[in-house]
């Protein structure tokens, strides 16, 4: 998981420049870092970040057997299983993307990843029989959304790994927008998006402050460099 930071490019005098804070930690098998100018203390931000990341980890992590998603994977049943509405909504979104991409996006390929040994240190070409056995439980079309709080596997050994999908809730988006407004009100000329995920909060939206997506800048620079050769 990559977590970027919202930074401000401000034309302020040294006496009005807010102090820069930073925290970092570990979550979902990787590290994260947050940076912000002024406002809340590091202790407050760290506590809020750790609380939200712990909640998401408990819901979606594939690194812990007690997460809601891993318990769903471990349930070898084709009966409807009760799940948090937030997770069902995410699964519904994944199914829409699966259909729109004609199956190219498929978060159920873990059995194939395991068959090829990509989840360990010694990958190897599996036998045809092993591939066929793995494919029997792969395919998001084998998952049915029953209602807002229930989903059902049509194949009991179906497994979901949501590490490949990004989504921002309205509440999370509002948090980023509020932070940007505060930075702009304090004299920031623009808000810069760092990392690979923050654009999700702003895609298709018009925030009430100037916005610079660093990923777009990198893409433009790479294109310019490659096309000049």
Among 130, 160, 190, the domain boundary falls at 160
Same domain, 131 and 88: yes
Same domain, 111 and 178: no
Mean predicted lDDT score pLDDT of the chain: 82
Same domain, 83 and 137: yes
pTM: 0.63
Instruction: Calculate the alpha carbon distances from 177 to 42, 46, 55 in Å.
Output: 20, 19, 22
Q: Is the pLDDT of residue 165 over 60?
A: no
Q: Is the pLDDT of residue 198 over 50?
A: yes
Kindly report the backbone phi and psi dihedral angles of residue 87, in degrees, each rounded to the nearest multiple of 5, phi listed first: -70, -40
Residue 1 lies in a domain: no
Q: What is the model's pLDDT at position 9? A: 45
Confidence of residue 146 (pLDDT cuts 50, 70, 90): very high
Please give the residue that has the higher pLDDT: either 120 or 124. Answer: 124
Element (H, E) at 32: strand 30-37
Q: Is the pLDDT of residue 147 over 60?
A: yes
Q: Is the pLDDT of residue 11 over 60?
A: no
**Nearest to 200, CA basis, from 161, 162, 172, 160:** 172
Count of structural domains within the chain: 2
Name the residue range of residue 120's domain. Answer: 78-160
């Amino acid at each position: 998981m990559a977590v970027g930071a919202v930074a401000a490019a401000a034309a302020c005098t040294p006496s009005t420049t807010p102090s820069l804070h930073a925290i970092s930690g570990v979550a979902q098998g990787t590290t994260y870092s947050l940076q912000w100018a002024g406002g809340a203390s590091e202790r407050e931000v760290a506590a809020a970040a750790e609380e939200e990341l712990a909640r998401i980890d408990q819901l979606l992590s594939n690194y812990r057997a007690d997460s809601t998603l891993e318990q769903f994977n471990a349930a070898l049943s084709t009966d409807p299983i009760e799940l948090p509405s937030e997770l069902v909504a995410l699964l519904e979104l994944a199914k829409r993307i699966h259909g729109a991409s004609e199956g190219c996006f498929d978060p159920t390929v873990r059995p194939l990843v395991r068959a090829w040994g990509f989840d360990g240190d010694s990958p190897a070409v599996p036998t045809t029989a092993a591939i066929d056995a793995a494919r029997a439980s792969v395919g998001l079309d084998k998952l049915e959304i029953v209602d807002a709080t229930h989903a059902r596997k049509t194949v009991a050994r179906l497994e979901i790994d949501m590490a490949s999908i990004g989504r921002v809730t309205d509440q999370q988006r509002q948090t980023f927008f509020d932070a940007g407004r505060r930075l702009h009100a304090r004299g920031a000329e623009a808000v810069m998006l760092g990392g690979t995920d923050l654009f999700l909060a702003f895609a298709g939206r018009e925030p009430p402050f100037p916005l610079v997506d660093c990923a777009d800048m990198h893409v433009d620079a790479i294109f310019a460099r490659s096309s000049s050769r």
